[in-house]
Amino acid sequence: MNRLRLLPAIVGALALLAGTVASARLSPNIVDKPTRFSGSCCVYTGSPALAVTLSMIEAGGGPSHFDSAALLKTLTGVHFNAEVHKLTAQYGKGQVAQFLKTFDFVVADSLLIVKAKGVRLPSAPSPNPKNGPALARALWGAGQSGEGFNVEVMLDRAVSHPIHLQVMKDIDAKYGLAVDAQYHAILTTAMKDLASAYHLSAT
């Protein structure tokens, strides 16, 4: 009987230990909280990596003329045609076109929110926005949670978690939840393709 009474306590202790071990693997400022499109983990709660964000925006033509297709060309370099072909075969021409359109909206909306909140972008981007492989590496690094790449962690680090949440609400209002989910899915695939092309490792 005593053993039966101890069983719930043992199970609870093991669950707590498992949670502690899982948390220990996570990177600093990463918390084990559920996200909309990436499952049960993770959320980045630290300051945004605005120099990388600015580099990404500049690589796509700058704040006033951002074009996600131009960003993709910069990031992929000689792999551009192969990547477009792969994404089109995997998701369909219409879905890829909508992804690029949504990405344009995400950047424009983020810049409006940042301006409204009085957040100042850095004076210089880092890495060099003309260096596609370096930028891909920086974005891939921004998405690391301690348990591998997570696109929502990358987007949290780009603008902060609260602004990322607001942008997702704005995507839903403009295009719908399904488009929002597909945007995250295709962006995840594109980032993993870049990691494969440039031999980037997950941490």
Q: Which domain holds residue 142?
A: 28-198
User: At residue 51, what is the residue type?
Assistant: A
- Residue 18 belongs to some domain of the structure: no
Q: Is residue 8 part of a domain?
A: no
In a domain? residue 152: yes
Domain presence at residue 79: yes
Residue 153: inside a domain = yes
- Taking CA atoms, 17 is separated from 29, 43, 66, 155, in Å, by 20, 21, 47, 30
Residue type, 112: L
Question: pLDDT in tens for each of the 203 residues of the chain?
Answer: 455 454 444 434 333 333 443 455 888 999 999 888 888 789 999 999 999 999 999 999 999 999 999 999 999 999 999 999 999 999 999 999 999 999 999 999 999 999 999 999 999 999 999 999 999 999 999 999 998 999 999 999 999 999 999 999 999 999 999 999 999 999 999 999 999 999 998 76
Residue 103, both tokens: 């990405």
91 lies in some domain: yes
The CA radius of gyration of the chain, in Å to the nearest whole number, is 19
Contact 106, 71 (CB under 8 A): no
Give the type of residue at 81. Answer: N
Q: What amino acid occupies position 176?
A: G
Residue showing tokens 């031999």: 199
The answer as to whether 180 is a domain residue is yes
Positive or negative, the CA dihedral 54, 60, 63, 67 is negative
DSSP string for residues in 21-40: HHHHHSPTTEE----SSSTT
- Counting the structural domains of the chain, the total is 1
> What pLDDT does residue 166 have?
98
In a domain, 194, yes or no: yes
List, for residues 129-172, the tens digit of each pLDDT value. Answer: 999 999 999 999 999 999 899 999 999 999 999 999 999 999 99
